[in-house]
Amino acid sequence: MVGGLAIFQRAARYLATRMLCGWFALVTIIASVAIAPAGAVEIADVLGRKVTLDAPASRIVMGAGRQLPVLGLLHPDPASLVVGWRGDFKLDGAQYGAWAEKFPHIDAITVLGGNAANGLPVETIVQLQPDLVVLDLYDSSAAATRRSMDLLEQLEIPVLVVDFFSHPLENALPSLRMLGQAIGAEDRAEAFVAFYNSRLERVKSRLASDDLRPPGVFMHVHAGGMPCCPSPGRGVFNDMIALAKGRNVALDHISGLYGDISLEQLIVDDPEIYIATGGAHLAARGGLVLGPGVTREEADASFAKLLATPGLSQLTAVKEGNAFALWHMFNDTPAHIAMIEFLAKLLHPELFADIDPQATIDAINREFLPVPMSGTYWIGR
């Protein structure tokens, strides 16, 4: 809990920012009496910024509420550390419900309004008295969010930027280590890193031959929930496709993190393998449904409906049984190691007959997560 002096300091600085020059001298005087404690925690975030905490964080504001399960890899009751978050985690009713059943107090966490484009509700965050704000790299790139970050830093509220989405293979494990440092769970973070790396190296070693031919892959994200066909470009899922020795055909048309391919262009490209991603967030739109709480029957029915769509049904991959589906939210958790195994097995089945991605999820559930990943996470091999 933040002490009375710290609360006064932050409130004064916030008023100073709002009132501008009239209060600047007062803020300077108050700031001059602050003394950094000897046990401070220093972290370099994914932007290379030095973030200093007085002690391991116990009052966290999360810019992406859906990353609570990531915090759960490190702490037996991660919700007890969170005092505010964006409401995106609640969009997956089944997953949120499972966490709420285990930790009923998550219903009392303050929901922050707005989005990255509008910045952060700084006044609300100050009232929550956090000792850390955690933001996603993708959100932090918005100009309004950067302005909010600057204001929070002026108020001496630390802001840590992590990334499990934009460049997962590069940033997911370092980001997990950052969170481990932030909450004093470094050993737990290193245990998951070792678990992850052992499986990753197994995949890489089997795909090391230069003689492997990467099959052409099209990944249709948020499939069935919007006009065809959004797809990843550089980063995000493309990194995993490349690691699994596949060739993302969308790169011929998309230069950024993601973009749209017309159905006509997709038919012309006619990829060897079609992979759709979906989740509970698409249920109301009649799209592909996968993930926590989704039965295999529900997933199969939504996938069959998707593949019957005019145009998609014409693809050679669909006609020849080379169409598959994945849970979209693998893009925001280090549990994506199971997705990497699935992709490698899908693209090069002759090399991975003995690999069971479900066994990897089972091990994550058993060894790390306080709330297990239960549901249907893929359709295919």
Please state the rounded mean pLDDT for residues 237-251. Answer: 96
Q: Residue 218 and residue 326: Cα distance in Å, rounded?
A: 13
Where would I find the H helices in the chain?
A: 4-19, 24-32, 68-72, 93-102, 122-128, 137-140, 143-154, 168-183, 186-206, 237-243, 263-269, 296-307, 316-319, 337-347, 357-367
First to last CA, the chain: 50
Rounded percentage of the chain residues whose pLDDT exceeds 90: 80
- Mean pLDDT for all residues in the chain: 89
Asked whether the bond before 228 is cis by omega within 30 degrees of 0, the reply is no
What pLDDT does 133 receive? 97
Q: Residue 376 and residue 127: Cα distance in Å, rounded?
A: 40
E strand or H helix that includes residue 161? strand 159-162
What pLDDT does 37 receive? 52
Which residues does residue 160 pair with via DSSP β-bridges, in sequence order? 134
Please state the rounded mean pLDDT for residues 160-185. Answer: 96
What pLDDT does 15 receive? 44
* Confidence bin at 235 (pLDDT 50/70/90): confident
In the numeric block, the tokens 């693209």 are attached to: 347
Q: Residue 179 and residue 156: Cα distance in Å, rounded?
A: 19
Which residues does residue 85 pair with via DSSP β-bridges, in sequence order? 62, 111
Q: What angle do CA 366, 77, 55 make, to 5 degrees?
A: 120
Q: Where are the strands (E) in 221-333, listed by range?
A: 230-232, 247-248, 258-260, 273-278, 291-292, 323-327
What pLDDT does 255 receive? 87
Position 318 pLDDT exceeds 50 = yes
The 10 Å Cβ neighbour count of residue 143 is 10
Rounded percentage of the chain residues whose pLDDT exceeds 70: 90
Answering whether pTM is above 0.85, one says yes
Please state the rounded mean pLDDT for residues 321-329. Answer: 96
What pLDDT does 351 receive? 96
Domains of the chain: 36-197 (3.40.50.1980), 211-379 (3.40.50.1980)
What one-letter code names the amino acid at 4? G
What pLDDT does 381 receive? 62
Please state the rounded mean pLDDT for residues 184-213. Answer: 96
Q: Are 200 and 225 in contact (CB under 8 A)?
A: no
* Confidence bin at 126 (pLDDT 50/70/90): very high
Please state the rounded mean pLDDT for residues 165-177. Answer: 95
Q: Residue 83 and residue 129: Cα distance in Å, rounded?
A: 9
Query: What digits encode the pLDDT tens for the residues 258-269?
Result: 899 999 999 999
Write the CA distances from 301 to 305, 306, 379, integer angstroms. Answer: 6, 9, 11
Closest CA to 124 of 53, 133, 49: 133
- Which backbone phi and psi does 241 adopt, to 5 degrees? -60, -45
* Confidence bin at 97 (pLDDT 50/70/90): very high
3-state secondary structure of 224: coil
Position 14 pLDDT exceeds 90 = no
What pLDDT does 66 receive? 93
* Confidence bin at 22 (pLDDT 50/70/90): very low
More confident residue, 236 or 251: 251
Question: Exposed e or buried b for every residue in 94-121, given b needs 16+ CB within 10 A?
Answer: bbbebbbeebeebeebeebeeebeebbb
More confident residue, 368 or 32: 368
The 10 Å Cβ neighbour count of residue 136 is 24
Q: For residue 78, count CB atoms less than 10 angstroms from its CB and return exposed for 0-12, middle for 13-18, buried for 19 or more.
A: buried
More confident residue, 225 or 354: 354
Please state the rounded mean pLDDT for residues 179-200. Answer: 98
The 10 Å Cβ neighbour count of residue 276 is 26
More confident residue, 13 or 26: 13
Query: What digits encode the pLDDT tens for the residues 273-298?
Result: 999 999 998 998 999 999 999 999 99
C-alpha torsion 305→310→311→312, nearest 10: 10
Position 16 pLDDT exceeds 70 = no
C-alpha torsion 374→379→380→381, nearest 10: 0
